[in-house]
Amino acid sequence: MKSEQTEAVPLGCAALHDKKPGYWKKEYILKQTAAVKTRVMRLAKPLDPYTGLPCKNKVAMKLSGLSWIIVLKDKNGKEHVTEKANLSFKHTSVTILWYGTNWPCLDVVSTLKLFGVTPLLLDQNMPPNKNGPRRLSLIAEYHLANLTESSVAVGADGLVQLFSVNPGLLIGIWKEKNEIAFVMVSLHYHQLLERSILGSATVQYAPPPNKPVLDDIDPEYGLHDYSLHLEMHGRSCTYLRGTFRNLFCRKGDIANGYLRLTVVSLKDNRKHLPLIGTPGLSWETDVFKGNVKDCYMMNLTLFDEIGEPFWCFSAPVCMELSSKTSGLYDYMGHIYTTNYADSEGKVCVKLVWLEETRQYIIVNLVLYVSTEKVNNWYGTNY
């Protein structure tokens, strides 16, 4: 140390010693976390021109060390953490499957929490240290008391029954005993990284509210120029993927608090859509595996007139056999229906099974969007 520096050193040391124990450790971790968040959120900006959604999610996952865990909590307050998961990536979602042998009996399970997990200290040249400090981001909390009564039955095979809970949760229950066989979650790509990284261990990420852009000229503002990207898939197969543009609703079609957007019309057989393969959801545990027929994951992305994601979800749905038969001239076969509903809207799908070609055809697809959602988004009053 040079002599002219000695006078300044005691002052610097005094400033350092004034800090409380752990201050610099906390500062270092905060800066490291902020730097990773900045790099990851930069990767959330590039969009896929086909889906209109972030296309760098896999790269961002690797960069941030992101993974997902579930925490089952029983009525005594004991928590059961499950980390090892199987991932299945699609164009607009990622499906995550967990299974375990030491989960509590269904009768005593109270909640299930889904977290995004990222390491606090990340070395770009090394895989994440599983035993190192980590940060949790709460994505969803599901209340599972009285599961079989409060959820939607999706289907069953010889071993398990499937129950769906919004948003996007699927639980498989062993038929022979009242225990959870597996848990499956489908996460839509819209704001996936934000929800998985920017929340806290107790509070979910809250996206900034949409600021309505008022339009006093267009008398049907908020009723037209919607576009839809729809994906129907299992864990390994995709049964349908398509984009539908110029969707609209006439004022006379607004009823019971919903705008009606007809995507596939029953009367226009030129737009009827065949499914590829037979819908079903495959599952597995450490010992067993199976496939539940007549159900699938539905990924819906509805965009507004300027291409902003307006209504998005990824959820398990089922196909129910209707008592009616097809009255269409072009099709003779059994009719199946798929219905989905959440706080923002409803989806109604009608399919016909063609025995000759052993194929499902979508003959009617209608979206019902909540007028409350539309009014809040556009600043309108329908």
Is 189 found in the same domain as 232? no
Q: For residue 1, what pLDDT is reported?
A: 44
Question: Residue 276: helix, strand or coil by DSSP?
Answer: coil
For the entire predicted model, the pTM comes to 0.90
Is 280 found in the same domain as 133? no
- Give yes or no for residue 53 having a pLDDT over 90: yes
Average pLDDT, the chain: 90
Is 231 found in the same domain as 189? no
- Find the mean pLDDT for residues 194-198: 94
- Give yes or no for residue 312 having a pLDDT over 90: yes
303 within a domain of the structure (yes/no): yes
Is 287 found in the same domain as 138? no
- Find the mean pLDDT for residues 71-86: 94
211 within a domain of the structure (yes/no): no
Q: For residue 341, what pLDDT is reported?
A: 96
Per-residue pLDDT band for 211 (boundaries 50, 70, 90) equals: confident
Listed range (93-97, 125-129, 203-207) with the worst mean pLDDT? 125-129
* Total domain count, the chain: 2
pLDDT higher at 238 or 3: 238
Q: For residue 198, what pLDDT is reported?
A: 92
Is 50 found in the same domain as 192? yes
What are the φ/ψ torsions at residue 173 (nearest 5 degrees)? -110, 130
- Find the mean pLDDT for residues 314-321: 96
What's the CA gap between 137 and 71, in Å, rounded?
12
206 within a domain of the structure (yes/no): no
* CB proximity list for 363: less than 8 A, separation 6 or greater: 264, 266, 269, 272, 326, 328, 331, 350, 351, 352
Is 174 found in the same domain as 63? yes
Is 370 found in the same domain as 229? yes
Q: Which residues pair with 243 in a beta bridge?
A: 229
201 within a domain of the structure (yes/no): no
Q: Could you tell me the residue range of the domain that residue 362 belongs to?
A: 223-378
pLDDT higher at 149 or 367: 367
What's the CA gap between 184 and 288, in Å, rounded?
15
Question: Residue 291: helix, strand or coil by DSSP?
Answer: strand
Is 180 found in the same domain as 327? no
Q: What percent of the chain has pLDDT over 70?
A: 92
1 within a domain of the structure (yes/no): no
